[in-house]
Structure 1
Protein backbone atom coordinates (compact mmCIF):
# COMPACT_ATOMS: atom_id res chain seq x y z
CA UNK A 1 0.00 0.00 0.00
CA UNK A 2 2.81 2.38 0.91
CA UNK A 3 4.64 1.62 -2.37
CA UNK A 4 1.42 2.25 -4.29
CA UNK A 5 1.00 5.66 -2.64
CA UNK A 6 4.67 6.39 -3.30
CA UNK A 7 4.28 5.66 -7.03
CA UNK A 8 1.12 7.74 -7.22
CA UNK A 9 2.92 10.63 -5.55
CA UNK A 10 5.73 10.44 -8.10
CA UNK A 11 3.29 10.37 -11.02
CA UNK A 12 1.30 13.31 -9.63
CA UNK A 13 4.39 15.48 -9.17
CA UNK A 14 5.77 14.43 -12.56
CA UNK A 15 2.52 15.40 -14.30
CA UNK A 16 2.57 18.78 -12.57
CA UNK A 17 6.18 19.45 -13.55
CA UNK A 18 5.46 18.69 -17.20
CA UNK A 19 2.44 21.01 -17.28
CA UNK A 20 4.23 23.77 -15.42
CA UNK A 21 7.21 23.42 -17.73
CA UNK A 22 4.98 24.53 -20.55
CA UNK A 23 3.29 27.33 -18.68
CA UNK A 24 6.18 29.79 -18.69
CA UNK A 25 6.66 29.94 -22.47
CA UNK A 26 2.88 30.23 -22.76
CA UNK A 27 2.76 32.93 -20.07
CA UNK A 28 5.41 34.88 -21.95
CA UNK A 29 3.06 35.35 -24.87
CA UNK A 30 0.22 36.41 -22.56
CA UNK A 31 2.38 38.98 -20.75
CA UNK A 32 2.98 40.79 -24.03
CA UNK A 33 -0.72 41.71 -24.02
CA UNK A 34 -1.91 41.59 -20.39
CA UNK A 35 -0.15 42.77 -17.23
CA UNK A 36 0.79 40.15 -14.58
CA UNK A 37 -1.90 41.30 -12.15
CA UNK A 38 -4.89 41.08 -14.46
CA UNK A 39 -3.38 37.91 -15.91
CA UNK A 40 -3.37 36.35 -12.43
CA UNK A 41 -6.94 37.45 -11.73
CA UNK A 42 -8.28 36.12 -15.03
CA UNK A 43 -6.37 32.86 -14.68
CA UNK A 44 -7.55 31.98 -11.20
CA UNK A 45 -11.04 33.41 -11.48
CA UNK A 46 -11.56 30.82 -14.22
CA UNK A 47 -9.86 28.19 -12.05
CA UNK A 48 -12.01 29.04 -9.02
CA UNK A 49 -15.17 28.79 -11.13
CA UNK A 50 -14.07 25.26 -12.08
CA UNK A 51 -12.83 24.21 -8.63
CA UNK A 52 -15.98 25.16 -6.69
CA UNK A 53 -18.53 22.97 -8.55
CA UNK A 54 -16.03 20.10 -8.66
CA UNK A 55 -15.75 20.18 -4.87
CA UNK A 56 -19.52 20.51 -4.45
CA UNK A 57 -20.20 17.51 -6.70
CA UNK A 58 -17.54 15.31 -5.15
CA UNK A 59 -17.74 16.18 -1.45
CA UNK A 60 -20.93 18.19 -0.99
CA UNK A 61 -21.72 21.38 0.86
CA UNK A 62 -19.92 20.25 4.02
CA UNK A 63 -16.58 20.53 2.24
CA UNK A 64 -16.94 24.32 2.12
CA UNK A 65 -16.95 24.61 5.92
CA UNK A 66 -13.80 26.34 7.16
CA UNK A 67 -13.71 24.54 10.52
CA UNK A 68 -12.35 27.66 12.20
CA UNK A 69 -9.32 27.84 9.91
CA UNK A 70 -10.12 30.97 7.94
CA UNK A 71 -6.81 32.64 8.81
CA UNK A 72 -4.70 29.72 7.64
CA UNK A 73 -6.66 29.24 4.44
CA UNK A 74 -6.61 32.94 3.57
CA UNK A 75 -2.87 33.24 4.26
CA UNK A 76 -1.89 30.12 2.32
CA UNK A 77 -4.25 30.93 -0.55
CA UNK A 78 -2.89 34.46 -0.79
CA UNK A 79 0.68 33.14 -0.76
CA UNK A 80 0.02 30.75 -3.65
CA UNK A 81 -2.65 32.29 -5.83
CA UNK A 82 -1.80 35.96 -5.30
CA UNK A 83 1.79 36.57 -4.18
CA UNK A 84 3.42 33.73 -6.12
CA UNK A 85 1.76 34.68 -9.39
CA UNK A 86 2.10 38.45 -8.99
CA UNK A 87 5.81 38.21 -8.17
CA UNK A 88 6.84 35.47 -10.58
CA UNK A 89 5.02 36.82 -13.61
CA UNK A 90 6.05 40.40 -12.90
CA UNK A 91 9.63 39.15 -12.79
CA UNK A 92 9.13 37.26 -16.03
CA UNK A 93 7.72 40.36 -17.71
CA UNK A 94 10.66 42.50 -16.53
CA UNK A 95 13.17 39.89 -17.75
CA UNK A 96 11.74 40.06 -21.26
CA UNK A 97 12.58 37.37 -23.85
CA UNK A 98 14.65 35.35 -21.36
CA UNK A 99 11.89 35.50 -18.76
CA UNK A 100 10.50 32.02 -19.39
CA UNK A 101 13.86 30.35 -18.82
CA UNK A 102 14.68 32.54 -15.82
CA UNK A 103 11.31 31.79 -14.25
CA UNK A 104 11.71 28.07 -14.69
CA UNK A 105 15.22 28.03 -13.26
CA UNK A 106 14.13 30.06 -10.24
CA UNK A 107 11.31 27.61 -9.64
CA UNK A 108 13.92 24.86 -9.51
CA UNK A 109 15.18 26.46 -6.29
CA UNK A 110 11.90 25.50 -4.60
CA UNK A 111 13.41 22.35 -3.00
CA UNK A 112 16.17 24.38 -1.36
CA UNK A 113 13.69 27.03 -0.28
CA UNK A 114 11.37 24.35 1.14
CA UNK A 115 14.24 22.88 3.12
CA UNK A 116 15.04 26.26 4.67
CA UNK A 117 11.39 27.10 5.37
CA UNK A 118 10.81 23.71 6.99
CA UNK A 119 13.94 24.12 9.06
CA UNK A 120 13.00 27.61 10.28
CA UNK A 121 9.20 27.25 10.46
CA UNK A 122 8.83 23.65 11.63
CA UNK A 123 12.25 22.96 13.13
CA UNK A 124 12.83 20.01 10.78
CA UNK A 125 16.50 19.70 9.92
CA UNK A 126 16.96 18.22 6.42
CA UNK A 127 18.77 14.94 5.95
CA UNK A 128 22.22 15.37 4.37
CA UNK A 129 21.38 13.13 1.41
CA UNK A 130 18.20 15.07 0.60
CA UNK A 131 20.16 18.30 0.73
CA UNK A 132 22.82 16.78 -1.50
CA UNK A 133 20.25 15.66 -4.08
CA UNK A 134 18.66 19.11 -4.11
CA UNK A 135 21.98 20.87 -4.63
CA UNK A 136 23.03 18.35 -7.28
CA UNK A 137 19.77 18.86 -9.18
CA UNK A 138 20.10 22.64 -9.01
CA UNK A 139 23.57 22.36 -10.53
CA UNK A 140 22.07 20.46 -13.44
CA UNK A 141 19.27 22.96 -13.90
CA UNK A 142 21.72 25.85 -13.99
CA UNK A 143 23.68 24.07 -16.71
CA UNK A 144 20.50 23.47 -18.71
CA UNK A 145 19.26 27.05 -18.70
CA UNK A 146 22.60 28.86 -18.96
CA UNK A 147 24.49 26.47 -21.23
CA UNK A 148 27.33 26.76 -18.73
CA UNK A 149 27.48 30.56 -18.89
CA UNK A 150 26.30 31.88 -15.51
CA UNK A 151 27.06 35.45 -16.59
CA UNK A 152 23.89 35.64 -18.71
CA UNK A 153 21.88 35.81 -15.47
CA UNK A 154 23.75 38.85 -14.14
CA UNK A 155 24.98 40.85 -17.15
CA UNK A 156 21.61 42.54 -17.57
CA UNK A 157 20.63 44.65 -14.49
CA UNK A 158 16.99 43.77 -15.05
CA UNK A 159 17.87 40.14 -14.45
CA UNK A 160 18.70 40.85 -10.81
CA UNK A 161 15.38 42.61 -10.17
CA UNK A 162 13.51 39.87 -11.97
CA UNK A 163 15.39 37.15 -10.08
CA UNK A 164 14.60 38.73 -6.69
CA UNK A 165 10.91 38.96 -7.56
CA UNK A 166 10.86 35.36 -8.78
CA UNK A 167 12.69 34.06 -5.72
CA UNK A 168 10.25 35.91 -3.47
CA UNK A 169 7.41 34.24 -5.33
CA UNK A 170 9.01 30.83 -4.90
CA UNK A 171 9.26 31.43 -1.14
CA UNK A 172 5.52 32.14 -1.11
CA UNK A 173 4.84 28.88 -2.94
CA UNK A 174 7.01 26.99 -0.44
CA UNK A 175 4.75 28.22 2.37
CA UNK A 176 1.71 26.99 0.44
CA UNK A 177 3.23 23.58 -0.22
CA UNK A 178 4.33 23.06 3.37
CA UNK A 179 1.10 24.52 4.76
CA UNK A 180 -0.92 21.86 2.97
CA UNK A 181 0.46 19.26 5.37
CA UNK A 182 -1.50 20.98 8.15
CA UNK A 183 -4.70 19.65 6.55
CA UNK A 184 -4.08 15.87 6.51
CA UNK A 185 -7.77 14.99 6.79
CA UNK A 186 -8.75 17.20 3.86
CA UNK A 187 -8.75 16.03 0.27
CA UNK A 188 -6.44 17.74 -2.19
CA UNK A 189 -9.50 19.09 -4.00
CA UNK A 190 -10.90 20.67 -0.85
CA UNK A 191 -7.62 22.29 0.17
CA UNK A 192 -6.97 23.54 -3.35
CA UNK A 193 -10.48 24.89 -3.89
CA UNK A 194 -10.77 26.81 -0.63
CA UNK A 195 -7.28 28.30 -0.85
CA UNK A 196 -7.92 29.23 -4.49
CA UNK A 197 -11.16 30.99 -3.56
CA UNK A 198 -9.48 33.00 -0.81
CA UNK A 199 -6.35 33.72 -2.84
CA UNK A 200 -8.34 34.83 -5.87
CA UNK A 201 -10.45 37.09 -3.66
CA UNK A 202 -7.24 38.74 -2.44
CA UNK A 203 -6.05 39.21 -6.04
CA UNK A 204 -9.37 40.70 -7.13
CA UNK A 205 -9.35 43.12 -4.19
CA UNK A 206 -5.80 44.30 -4.97
CA UNK A 207 -6.40 44.62 -8.71
CA UNK A 208 -9.74 46.39 -8.29
CA UNK A 209 -8.20 48.88 -5.88
CA UNK A 210 -5.18 49.45 -8.12
CA UNK A 211 -7.42 49.97 -11.13
CA UNK A 212 -9.59 52.39 -9.19
CA UNK A 213 -6.63 54.65 -8.39
CA UNK A 214 -5.21 54.41 -11.91
CA UNK A 215 -2.24 52.09 -11.34
CA UNK A 216 -3.66 49.37 -13.58
CA UNK A 217 -5.78 49.35 -16.72
CA UNK A 218 -8.41 46.79 -17.68
CA UNK A 219 -7.23 44.70 -20.68
CA UNK A 220 -9.09 45.49 -23.88
CA UNK A 221 -11.17 42.95 -25.80
CA UNK A 222 -8.51 42.51 -28.48
CA UNK A 223 -5.88 41.53 -25.92
CA UNK A 224 -8.20 38.93 -24.45
CA UNK A 225 -9.04 37.57 -27.89
CA UNK A 226 -5.37 37.35 -28.87
CA UNK A 227 -4.54 35.30 -25.77
CA UNK A 228 -7.69 33.16 -25.50
CA UNK A 229 -6.03 29.76 -25.96
CA UNK A 230 -3.05 30.68 -23.80
CA UNK A 231 -5.38 31.77 -20.99
CA UNK A 232 -7.27 28.49 -21.33
CA UNK A 233 -4.03 26.52 -20.93
CA UNK A 234 -2.88 28.62 -17.98
CA UNK A 235 -6.26 28.41 -16.25
CA UNK A 236 -7.41 24.84 -16.89
CA UNK A 237 -4.23 22.81 -17.42
CA UNK A 238 -1.71 24.74 -15.31
CA UNK A 239 -4.17 26.39 -12.93
CA UNK A 240 -6.56 23.53 -12.15
CA UNK A 241 -5.25 20.13 -13.21
CA UNK A 242 -1.61 20.76 -12.29
CA UNK A 243 -2.36 22.40 -8.93
CA UNK A 244 -4.67 19.54 -7.92
CA UNK A 245 -2.02 17.05 -8.97
CA UNK A 246 0.68 18.96 -7.08
CA UNK A 247 -1.27 19.00 -3.82
CA UNK A 248 -2.09 15.31 -4.16
CA UNK A 249 1.56 14.46 -4.81
CA UNK A 250 2.74 16.56 -1.88
CA UNK A 251 0.40 14.67 0.46
CA UNK A 252 1.68 11.31 -0.77
CA UNK A 253 5.36 12.26 -0.64
CA UNK A 254 6.53 15.21 1.48
CA UNK A 255 7.10 18.88 0.65
CA UNK A 256 10.87 18.67 0.21
CA UNK A 257 10.93 15.57 -1.96
CA UNK A 258 7.87 16.62 -3.94
CA UNK A 259 9.51 19.98 -4.61
CA UNK A 260 12.49 18.18 -6.12
CA UNK A 261 10.35 17.44 -9.17
CA UNK A 262 10.28 21.14 -9.99
CA UNK A 263 13.79 20.63 -11.36
CA UNK A 264 12.09 19.12 -14.40
CA UNK A 265 10.25 22.36 -15.14
CA UNK A 266 13.15 24.19 -16.85
CA UNK A 267 13.98 21.07 -18.83
CA UNK A 268 10.47 21.06 -20.26
CA UNK A 269 10.73 24.79 -20.94
CA UNK A 270 13.99 24.27 -22.82
CA UNK A 271 12.47 21.36 -24.76
CA UNK A 272 9.58 23.55 -25.90
CA UNK A 273 12.05 26.24 -26.91
CA UNK A 274 14.01 23.59 -28.86
CA UNK A 275 10.90 22.75 -30.85
CA UNK A 276 10.86 26.41 -31.84
CA UNK A 277 14.43 26.21 -33.21
CA UNK A 278 16.56 26.23 -30.05
CA UNK A 279 19.91 24.48 -30.55
CA UNK A 280 20.66 21.88 -27.85
CA UNK A 281 24.31 22.02 -26.76
CA UNK A 282 26.28 19.24 -25.07
CA UNK A 283 26.35 21.08 -21.74
CA UNK A 284 22.54 21.12 -21.76
CA UNK A 285 22.47 17.34 -22.18
CA UNK A 286 24.87 17.03 -19.24
CA UNK A 287 22.58 19.22 -17.15
CA UNK A 288 19.55 17.09 -18.01
CA UNK A 289 21.41 13.93 -16.98
CA UNK A 290 22.44 15.52 -13.67
CA UNK A 291 18.84 16.46 -12.85
CA UNK A 292 17.50 13.01 -13.71
CA UNK A 293 20.21 11.30 -11.66
CA UNK A 294 19.38 13.51 -8.67
CA UNK A 295 15.70 12.57 -8.94
CA UNK A 296 16.45 8.86 -9.27
CA UNK A 297 18.88 8.84 -6.34
CA UNK A 298 16.51 10.73 -4.08
CA UNK A 299 13.60 8.47 -4.98
CA UNK A 300 15.72 5.38 -4.37
CA UNK A 301 16.68 6.72 -0.95
CA UNK A 302 13.01 7.31 -0.16
CA UNK A 303 12.24 3.66 -0.94
CA UNK A 304 14.90 2.27 1.36
CA UNK A 305 14.70 4.71 4.26
CA UNK A 306 12.96 3.69 7.44
CA UNK A 307 9.49 5.34 7.60
CA UNK A 308 10.51 7.42 10.58
CA UNK A 309 13.55 8.74 8.75
CA UNK A 310 11.60 10.60 6.10
CA UNK A 311 11.29 14.23 7.16
CA UNK A 312 7.63 15.13 7.51
CA UNK A 313 5.80 17.87 9.27
CA UNK A 314 4.43 16.68 12.59
CA UNK A 315 0.63 16.78 13.00
CA UNK A 316 0.85 18.34 16.44
CA UNK A 317 2.99 21.15 15.05
CA UNK A 318 1.34 21.85 11.72
CA UNK A 319 -2.04 22.63 13.23
CA UNK A 320 -0.61 25.65 15.00
CA UNK A 321 -1.63 27.79 12.02
CA UNK A 322 0.19 29.76 9.39
Structure 2
Protein backbone atom coordinates (compact mmCIF):
# COMPACT_ATOMS: atom_id res chain seq x y z
CA UNK A 1 0.00 0.00 0.00
CA UNK A 2 2.98 2.33 0.46
CA UNK A 3 3.35 2.41 -3.33
CA UNK A 4 0.07 4.34 -3.64
CA UNK A 5 1.47 7.09 -1.42
CA UNK A 6 4.37 7.68 -3.81
CA UNK A 7 4.11 9.92 -6.87
CA UNK A 8 4.16 6.94 -9.26
CA UNK A 9 1.49 5.20 -7.21
CA UNK A 10 -0.69 8.31 -7.22
CA UNK A 11 -0.26 8.63 -10.98
CA UNK A 12 -1.53 5.07 -11.29
CA UNK A 13 -4.56 5.80 -9.12
CA UNK A 14 -5.39 9.02 -11.00
CA UNK A 15 -5.12 7.21 -14.33
CA UNK A 16 -7.52 4.52 -13.08
CA UNK A 17 -9.79 7.32 -11.81
CA UNK A 18 -9.88 8.82 -15.31
CA UNK A 19 -10.74 5.39 -16.77
CA UNK A 20 -13.58 4.94 -14.26
CA UNK A 21 -14.95 8.42 -15.02
CA UNK A 22 -14.59 7.71 -18.74
CA UNK A 23 -16.84 4.69 -18.29
CA UNK A 24 -19.29 6.72 -16.24
CA UNK A 25 -20.82 8.22 -19.39
CA UNK A 26 -21.61 4.74 -20.71
CA UNK A 27 -23.16 3.69 -17.38
CA UNK A 28 -25.10 6.93 -16.94
CA UNK A 29 -26.58 6.49 -20.41
CA UNK A 30 -28.77 3.67 -19.08
CA UNK A 31 -29.63 5.18 -15.71
CA UNK A 32 -30.43 8.73 -16.79
CA UNK A 33 -32.70 7.28 -19.44
CA UNK A 34 -34.83 5.77 -16.66
CA UNK A 35 -34.53 8.36 -13.87
CA UNK A 36 -34.35 12.19 -13.83
CA UNK A 37 -30.74 13.47 -13.87
CA UNK A 38 -30.54 15.08 -10.42
CA UNK A 39 -32.42 12.16 -8.86
CA UNK A 40 -29.79 9.87 -10.37
CA UNK A 41 -27.01 12.00 -8.89
CA UNK A 42 -28.70 12.03 -5.47
CA UNK A 43 -29.17 8.24 -5.35
CA UNK A 44 -25.59 7.73 -6.49
CA UNK A 45 -24.02 9.92 -3.82
CA UNK A 46 -26.42 8.85 -1.08
CA UNK A 47 -25.15 5.30 -1.58
CA UNK A 48 -21.55 6.53 -1.88
CA UNK A 49 -21.95 8.39 1.42
CA UNK A 50 -23.19 5.34 3.31
CA UNK A 51 -20.42 3.09 1.99
CA UNK A 52 -17.62 5.57 2.65
CA UNK A 53 -18.87 6.54 6.12
CA UNK A 54 -19.02 2.87 7.15
CA UNK A 55 -15.56 2.29 5.68
CA UNK A 56 -14.14 5.40 7.36
CA UNK A 57 -15.45 4.34 10.79
CA UNK A 58 -14.15 0.79 10.24
CA UNK A 59 -10.64 1.99 9.34
CA UNK A 60 -10.27 5.16 11.41
CA UNK A 61 -12.87 4.83 14.14
CA UNK A 62 -13.92 8.11 15.78
CA UNK A 63 -10.89 9.82 14.24
CA UNK A 64 -12.90 10.15 11.02
CA UNK A 65 -15.40 12.47 12.72
CA UNK A 66 -14.82 16.04 11.54
CA UNK A 67 -13.81 18.67 14.05
CA UNK A 68 -15.72 21.94 14.26
CA UNK A 69 -13.01 23.89 12.45
CA UNK A 70 -13.08 21.37 9.58
CA UNK A 71 -16.82 21.66 8.97
CA UNK A 72 -16.74 24.80 6.75
CA UNK A 73 -14.26 23.13 4.39
CA UNK A 74 -16.22 19.88 4.26
CA UNK A 75 -19.48 21.74 3.59
CA UNK A 76 -17.76 23.73 0.85
CA UNK A 77 -16.44 20.50 -0.72
CA UNK A 78 -19.90 18.92 -0.68
CA UNK A 79 -21.49 22.05 -2.11
CA UNK A 80 -19.00 22.63 -4.92
CA UNK A 81 -17.71 19.20 -5.97
CA UNK A 82 -20.76 17.04 -5.33
CA UNK A 83 -23.96 19.09 -5.41
CA UNK A 84 -23.19 22.12 -7.59
CA UNK A 85 -20.90 20.31 -10.01
CA UNK A 86 -23.39 17.52 -10.69
CA UNK A 87 -26.34 19.91 -10.93
CA UNK A 88 -24.50 22.11 -13.45
CA UNK A 89 -23.21 19.14 -15.48
CA UNK A 90 -26.55 17.31 -15.72
CA UNK A 91 -28.57 20.48 -16.31
CA UNK A 92 -26.06 22.00 -18.72
CA UNK A 93 -25.75 18.96 -20.97
CA UNK A 94 -29.53 19.00 -21.45
CA UNK A 95 -29.21 22.38 -23.18
CA UNK A 96 -25.83 21.80 -24.81
CA UNK A 97 -24.14 19.17 -26.95
CA UNK A 98 -21.73 16.36 -26.16
CA UNK A 99 -19.06 18.13 -28.24
CA UNK A 100 -19.36 21.35 -26.30
CA UNK A 101 -19.36 19.44 -23.02
CA UNK A 102 -16.14 17.62 -23.87
CA UNK A 103 -14.48 20.83 -25.05
CA UNK A 104 -15.47 22.76 -21.94
CA UNK A 105 -14.32 19.88 -19.73
CA UNK A 106 -10.82 20.45 -21.10
CA UNK A 107 -10.81 23.89 -19.49
CA UNK A 108 -10.91 22.23 -16.05
CA UNK A 109 -7.16 21.55 -15.61
CA UNK A 110 -6.25 25.10 -16.66
CA UNK A 111 -8.84 26.56 -14.27
CA UNK A 112 -7.61 24.38 -11.41
CA UNK A 113 -3.97 25.30 -12.07
CA UNK A 114 -4.83 29.01 -12.02
CA UNK A 115 -6.83 28.76 -8.79
CA UNK A 116 -4.11 26.67 -7.13
CA UNK A 117 -1.52 29.28 -8.08
CA UNK A 118 -3.67 32.13 -6.75
CA UNK A 119 -4.97 30.52 -3.54
CA UNK A 120 -2.37 27.89 -2.63
CA UNK A 121 0.74 29.43 -4.19
CA UNK A 122 1.30 26.17 -6.10
CA UNK A 123 2.92 26.96 -9.41
CA UNK A 124 3.68 24.86 -12.46
CA UNK A 125 7.09 24.83 -14.13
CA UNK A 126 7.38 25.90 -17.77
CA UNK A 127 7.60 22.21 -18.73
CA UNK A 128 4.40 21.43 -16.82
CA UNK A 129 2.62 24.43 -18.36
CA UNK A 130 3.66 23.12 -21.78
CA UNK A 131 2.16 19.76 -20.79
CA UNK A 132 -1.15 21.42 -19.90
CA UNK A 133 -1.19 23.23 -23.27
CA UNK A 134 -0.32 20.08 -25.26
CA UNK A 135 -2.95 18.04 -23.42
CA UNK A 136 -5.56 20.76 -23.97
CA UNK A 137 -4.76 20.80 -27.70
CA UNK A 138 -5.10 17.01 -27.75
CA UNK A 139 -8.58 17.23 -26.20
CA UNK A 140 -9.62 19.74 -28.88
CA UNK A 141 -8.46 17.34 -31.61
CA UNK A 142 -10.37 14.45 -30.00
CA UNK A 143 -13.53 16.53 -29.66
CA UNK A 144 -13.34 18.10 -33.13
CA UNK A 145 -12.16 14.85 -34.78
CA UNK A 146 -9.51 16.93 -36.55
CA UNK A 147 -12.06 19.13 -38.30
CA UNK A 148 -11.79 22.91 -38.01
CA UNK A 149 -15.39 23.13 -39.22
CA UNK A 150 -16.58 21.43 -36.02
CA UNK A 151 -14.97 24.15 -33.89
CA UNK A 152 -16.00 27.09 -36.09
CA UNK A 153 -19.55 25.72 -36.20
CA UNK A 154 -19.94 25.62 -32.42
CA UNK A 155 -22.70 27.71 -30.91
CA UNK A 156 -22.95 28.47 -27.20
CA UNK A 157 -26.01 28.92 -24.97
CA UNK A 158 -27.00 28.94 -21.31
CA UNK A 159 -26.21 25.23 -21.10
CA UNK A 160 -22.62 25.91 -22.13
CA UNK A 161 -22.34 28.60 -19.47
CA UNK A 162 -23.49 26.05 -16.91
CA UNK A 163 -20.92 23.52 -18.14
CA UNK A 164 -18.17 26.14 -17.91
CA UNK A 165 -19.26 27.06 -14.38
CA UNK A 166 -19.17 23.35 -13.52
CA UNK A 167 -15.44 23.33 -14.29
CA UNK A 168 -14.94 26.34 -12.02
CA UNK A 169 -16.91 24.54 -9.32
CA UNK A 170 -14.72 21.43 -9.68
CA UNK A 171 -11.56 23.54 -9.51
CA UNK A 172 -12.77 25.20 -6.30
CA UNK A 173 -13.61 21.76 -4.89
CA UNK A 174 -10.10 20.51 -5.62
CA UNK A 175 -8.43 23.56 -4.07
CA UNK A 176 -10.61 23.42 -0.96
CA UNK A 177 -10.03 19.67 -0.71
CA UNK A 178 -6.27 20.24 -0.68
CA UNK A 179 -6.67 22.45 2.41
CA UNK A 180 -9.14 20.14 4.17
CA UNK A 181 -6.96 17.06 3.63
CA UNK A 182 -4.02 18.67 5.39
CA UNK A 183 -5.78 17.82 8.65
CA UNK A 184 -8.11 14.99 7.56
CA UNK A 185 -7.67 11.77 5.58
CA UNK A 186 -8.81 11.63 1.96
CA UNK A 187 -11.27 8.86 2.88
CA UNK A 188 -12.96 10.85 5.65
CA UNK A 189 -13.02 14.07 3.59
CA UNK A 190 -14.58 12.26 0.62
CA UNK A 191 -17.14 10.54 2.86
CA UNK A 192 -18.36 13.65 4.67
CA UNK A 193 -18.33 15.80 1.52
CA UNK A 194 -20.51 13.14 -0.13
CA UNK A 195 -22.94 13.31 2.80
CA UNK A 196 -23.24 17.09 2.44
CA UNK A 197 -23.54 16.90 -1.35
CA UNK A 198 -26.17 14.17 -1.29
CA UNK A 199 -28.32 16.14 1.18
CA UNK A 200 -28.26 19.15 -1.13
CA UNK A 201 -28.97 16.97 -4.16
CA UNK A 202 -31.91 15.41 -2.30
CA UNK A 203 -33.52 18.86 -1.93
CA UNK A 204 -33.05 19.53 -5.65
CA UNK A 205 -34.31 16.03 -6.54
CA UNK A 206 -37.47 16.67 -4.51
CA UNK A 207 -37.99 19.85 -6.52
CA UNK A 208 -37.43 17.75 -9.65
CA UNK A 209 -40.29 15.47 -8.56
CA UNK A 210 -38.54 12.61 -6.77
CA UNK A 211 -41.03 10.90 -4.38
CA UNK A 212 -38.95 7.95 -3.20
CA UNK A 213 -39.90 5.62 -6.05
CA UNK A 214 -36.94 4.00 -7.83
CA UNK A 215 -37.91 2.17 -11.01
CA UNK A 216 -34.84 0.79 -12.75
CA UNK A 217 -34.35 -2.07 -15.17
CA UNK A 218 -31.70 -4.73 -14.59
CA UNK A 219 -29.17 -2.79 -16.70
CA UNK A 220 -30.20 0.39 -14.90
CA UNK A 221 -29.31 -1.19 -11.55
CA UNK A 222 -26.03 -2.53 -12.94
CA UNK A 223 -25.18 0.94 -14.22
CA UNK A 224 -26.11 2.52 -10.88
CA UNK A 225 -23.91 -0.02 -9.06
CA UNK A 226 -21.00 0.96 -11.29
CA UNK A 227 -21.60 4.67 -10.69
CA UNK A 228 -21.73 4.08 -6.93
CA UNK A 229 -18.80 1.67 -6.48
CA UNK A 230 -16.56 2.43 -9.46
CA UNK A 231 -16.90 6.01 -10.64
CA UNK A 232 -18.27 7.00 -7.22
CA UNK A 233 -16.53 5.50 -4.16
CA UNK A 234 -13.25 4.45 -5.74
CA UNK A 235 -12.83 7.32 -8.19
CA UNK A 236 -13.65 10.13 -5.75
CA UNK A 237 -11.48 8.64 -3.01
CA UNK A 238 -8.55 8.14 -5.40
CA UNK A 239 -9.01 11.67 -6.77
CA UNK A 240 -8.94 13.27 -3.34
CA UNK A 241 -5.97 11.13 -2.35
CA UNK A 242 -4.19 12.31 -5.50
CA UNK A 243 -4.98 15.93 -4.73
CA UNK A 244 -3.69 15.53 -1.17
CA UNK A 245 -0.36 14.15 -2.44
CA UNK A 246 0.25 16.06 -5.69
CA UNK A 247 -1.83 19.18 -5.22
CA UNK A 248 -4.83 20.14 -7.36
CA UNK A 249 -2.82 21.68 -10.20
CA UNK A 250 -0.95 18.47 -11.07
CA UNK A 251 -3.85 16.11 -10.35
CA UNK A 252 -6.19 18.11 -12.60
CA UNK A 253 -4.29 17.25 -15.79
CA UNK A 254 -5.49 13.64 -15.45
CA UNK A 255 -9.02 14.90 -16.19
CA UNK A 256 -7.95 15.16 -19.82
CA UNK A 257 -7.58 11.36 -19.92
CA UNK A 258 -11.33 11.01 -19.30
CA UNK A 259 -12.43 11.63 -22.94
CA UNK A 260 -9.70 9.26 -24.15
CA UNK A 261 -10.86 6.54 -21.75
CA UNK A 262 -14.47 7.23 -22.68
CA UNK A 263 -13.68 6.89 -26.38
CA UNK A 264 -11.81 3.60 -25.87
CA UNK A 265 -14.59 2.16 -23.71
CA UNK A 266 -17.19 3.26 -26.25
CA UNK A 267 -15.26 1.38 -28.94
CA UNK A 268 -14.98 -1.73 -26.78
CA UNK A 269 -18.47 -1.74 -25.27
CA UNK A 270 -20.76 -0.21 -27.88
CA UNK A 271 -18.67 -0.76 -31.03
CA UNK A 272 -18.22 2.92 -31.87
CA UNK A 273 -15.66 3.71 -34.57
CA UNK A 274 -12.48 5.62 -33.76
CA UNK A 275 -10.63 7.89 -36.21
CA UNK A 276 -6.91 8.52 -36.66
CA UNK A 277 -7.51 12.09 -35.53
CA UNK A 278 -8.83 10.81 -32.21
CA UNK A 279 -5.83 8.51 -31.84
CA UNK A 280 -3.48 11.44 -32.55
CA UNK A 281 -5.33 13.59 -30.03
CA UNK A 282 -5.11 10.84 -27.43
CA UNK A 283 -1.34 10.62 -27.94
CA UNK A 284 -1.02 14.38 -27.38
CA UNK A 285 -3.10 14.13 -24.21
CA UNK A 286 -0.90 11.35 -22.86
CA UNK A 287 2.25 13.33 -23.78
CA UNK A 288 0.84 16.39 -22.02
CA UNK A 289 -0.01 14.39 -18.92
CA UNK A 290 3.53 12.98 -18.88
CA UNK A 291 5.11 16.44 -19.02
CA UNK A 292 2.79 17.86 -16.37
CA UNK A 293 3.40 15.04 -13.92
CA UNK A 294 7.17 15.50 -13.96
CA UNK A 295 8.51 16.86 -10.72
CA UNK A 296 9.78 20.41 -10.57
CA UNK A 297 13.48 20.80 -11.29
Do the two structures share a fold, i.e. TM-score over 0.5? yes
Q: 1:105 to 1:265 in 2, by over 3 A?
A: farther
Q: After superposition, what is the alpha-carbon deviation per residue over 1:93-112, rounded to whole angstroms, capped at 9, x for unaligned?
A: 334xx53x654443332210
**Stretches of structure 2 lacking an aligned partner (at least 5 in a row):** none
Secondary structure, counterpart of 2:6 in structure 1: helix
Question: Partner residue of 1:264?
Answer: 257
Q: CA RMSD in A?
A: 2.5
Secondary structure, counterpart of 1:65 in structure 2: coil
Question: Partner residue of 1:18?
Answer: 19
Q: After superposition, what is the alpha-carbon deviation per residue over 1:101-131, rounded to whole angstroms, capped at 9, x for unaligned?
A: 6544433322101022223434555433322
Query: How many aligned positions are there?
Result: 294
Question: Partner residue of 1:285?
Answer: 279
Question: Partner residue of 2:289?
Answer: 295
Secondary structure, counterpart of 1:295 in structure 2: helix
Residue number among 164, 169, 175 corresponding to 2:166 in the alignment: 169
Q: 1:265 to 1:155 in 2, by over 3 A?
A: same
Q: C-alpha displacement at 1:253, in angstroms? A: 1.4
- Counterpart check, 1:231 vs 2:224: yes
Question: Partner residue of 1:222?
Answer: 215
Q: 1:140 to 1:252 in 2, by over 3 A?
A: same
**Stretches of structure 1 lacking an aligned partner (at least 5 in a row):** 307-322
Alpha-carbon distance in 2 for matches of 1:150, 1:35: 35
Alignment of 1:1-322 (within 5 A): 5-95=6-96, 99=98, 102-152=100-150, 155=153, 157=155, 160-182=157-179, 183-208=181-206, 210=207, 215-218=208-211, 221-223=214-216, 227-275=220-268, 276-299=270-293, 301-302=294-295, 305-306=296-297
Q: C-alpha displacement at 1:66, in angstroms? A: 2.4
Worse-superposed segment, 244-253 or 118-127: 118-127
Q: After superposition, what is the alpha-carbon deviation per residue over 1:7-40, rounded to whole angstroms, capped at 9, x for unaligned?
A: 1111111110110011122223322222221111
Question: Partner residue of 1:313?
Answer: none
TM-score (norm 1): 0.82
Do the aligned partners of 1:108 and 1:266 also contact (CA within 8 Å) in 2? no
Q: C-alpha displacement at 1:165, in angstroms? A: 1.8
Alpha-carbon distance in 1 for matches of 2:195, 2:265: 31
Question: Partner residue of 1:314?
Answer: none
TM-score (norm 2): 0.89
Do the aligned partners of 2:113 and 2:250 also contact (CA within 8 Å) in 1? no
Q: 1:282 to 1:84 in 2, by over 3 A?
A: same
Q: C-alpha displacement at 1:220, in angstroms? A: 5.0
